Chain A
């Protein structure tokens, strides 16, 4: 059974700094998703990573996938306040229809 762990669970960072959120998973997962959730809102898809070595970037966020290490990272470059939200990673194996989410990383960007 796939287990997904994120760390840190909470991250307070200053504007302009860089940081990385880590997503480890327990068994083979060749699909890895990142979602963003603003307080009191729904989830919004950020990235889907489908193969080993995949890297996707949008604005100040960059996600990567290393299937051999069973690790995905979400890197934040020069954080701004608008990036404050909770970020979730989620994995699934092959053609499996079940999606397993991590517990989320609450990111707070301060001035």
Chain B
């Protein structure tokens, strides 16, 4: 089954404790992206990747890092999480940048 898998689905942690949210897709897609969703703000793009070793900033990249060492994986790293990064995060992928994206089920992060 074609899917985008995110882990964990839920995480409560404390300020400053590094965390990684993993994202994996099994569709051999080139384009992958991370979004955060906050009430009243819709989805905002954090980072995206056009292909292996090619990443670029979205609209809200501050406080986040990403890497794309393999085509299927695109982890989101919070080196020193802060409470304003409490949000619902979605990973998405598509075969090409112009095609509609497939979204993962989301990761709800709470930073205390």
Q: How many B residues have CB within 8 A of the partner chain?
A: 26
Complex CA distance for A100 and B45, rounded to whole angstroms: 7
Tell me which residues across on chain A come within 8 A of B97, comparing CB atoms. Answer: 92, 95, 97
Binds A, one of B19-27, B73-81, B100-108: B100-108
Q: How many residues of A contact B (CB 8 A)?
A: 22
Residue from B40, B48, B59, B90 within 8 A of A43 (CB atoms): B90
Given contacts A97-B31, A98-B59, contact A45 B42 (CB under 8 A): no
From DSSP, what is the main secondary structure of chain A's interface residues?
Answer: strand
Task: Tell me whether B66 is interfacial, beta carbon within 8 Å.
Answer: no
Partner of A42, one of B33, B44, B48, B103: B103
B residues at A contact (CB < 8 Å): 31, 33, 35, 40-45, 48, 50, 56, 58-59, 90, 92, 97-106
| 16 A-B pairs (CB sep. < 8 Å) | A35-B100, A42-B104, A43-B43, A43-B92, A48-B100, A97-B48, A97-B56, A97-B97, A98-B45, A98-B48, A99-B33, A99-B48, A100-B59, A101-B42, A103-B42, A104-B42
